[in-house]
Amino acid sequence: MNDSDCDSPRPTPEQFEEYVLSWLRAAPAQLKSFHAERRQLLQGLDGEYEIDVAVTLELMEMKFLILVECKRWKNPVKREIVAALHQRMISLGAQKGLIAATSGFQRGAIQFAQAHGIALVNFASASTAWIAKSMNAPKQPPAWTRLPEFIGWLHSLTEDGKIRYSNISARNPEYLRAALWPGNDVA
């Protein structure tokens, strides 16, 4: 999945962050409190950081902080970018992190993210979720499918090292919930 897979226009940076925020707002289940806000300035141990989206939630009397970075780039996200988010998580005391990108991720970034509990989501046109099983099927999904304009592909590694993609959207938040909320495992 990459940016060239998108047939629809690219969102503005603000629209991109708002789509990711809508997925996060749809994901909470049985939380005591949930708050997500764009463009947060947070004070860490080693300075102030601007975070694209900061999520705070309370689950079973415990408070959690999730840092979200949105990368609207042309090239795949490298390991160093994921490591930088990990360092911010340590400085700010965040329990989880997520990077949403329009360009996908290099394998090293996926491996680092998996090792450190950081979720990676490729932002793509919803038409990338359309799977045609017939040779004569239309290349684009029919209107009756009611797909959103954009979706996300959550990246994770299987036990044998293969990359697994799980579809997420505001209507389908289960995989994102499993990747981010404490006590859940990615299916």
* Cα–Cα distance, 48 to 33 (Å, whole number): 25
Domains of the chain from N-terminus onward:
3-129+146-180 (3.40.1350.10)
Q: What 3-state class would DSSP assign to 18?
A: helix
Pick from 2-11, 69-78, 170-179 the range whose average pLDDT is largest.
69-78
Amino acid 102: pLDDT: 93
DSSP state of 126: G
Backbone phi, psi, residue 186, to 5°: -70, 130
Nearest to 78 by CA among 53, 103, 109, 101: 109
Of 164 and 25, more confident: 164
Residue 137 makes CB contacts below 8 A (sequence gap 6+) with: none
According to DSSP, the residues that pair with 87 across neighbouring strands are: none
CB 114 within 8 A of CB 156: yes
Is residue 144 very low, low, confident or very high in pLDDT (cuts 50, 70, 90)?
low
pLDDT digits (tens, 9 = 90+) for 152-169: 899 888 889 898 888 888
pLDDT digits (tens, 9 = 90+) for 103-135: 999 999 999 999 998 999 998 887 777 665 556
Average pLDDT taken over every residue of the chain: 82
* Cα–Cα distance, 119 to 154 (Å, whole number): 7
Is residue 90 very low, low, confident or very high in pLDDT (cuts 50, 70, 90)?
very high
φ/ψ region of 126 (left if φ > 0, alpha if ψ in -120 to 50, else beta) reads alpha
Nearest to 177 by CA among 159, 161, 154: 154
Element (H, E) at 42: strand 33-44
* Cα–Cα distance, 110 to 105 (Å, whole number): 7
Q: What 3-state class would DSSP assign to 17?
A: helix
Across the beta sheet with 47-59, what order do the strands follow? 33-44, 47-59, 62-71, 96-101, 118-125, 150-157, 163-168
Is residue 63 very low, low, confident or very high in pLDDT (cuts 50, 70, 90)?
confident
pLDDT at 1 over 60: no
> What percentage of the chain carries pLDDT values higher than 70?
79
* Cα–Cα distance, 117 to 123 (Å, whole number): 19
pLDDT at 81 over 90: yes
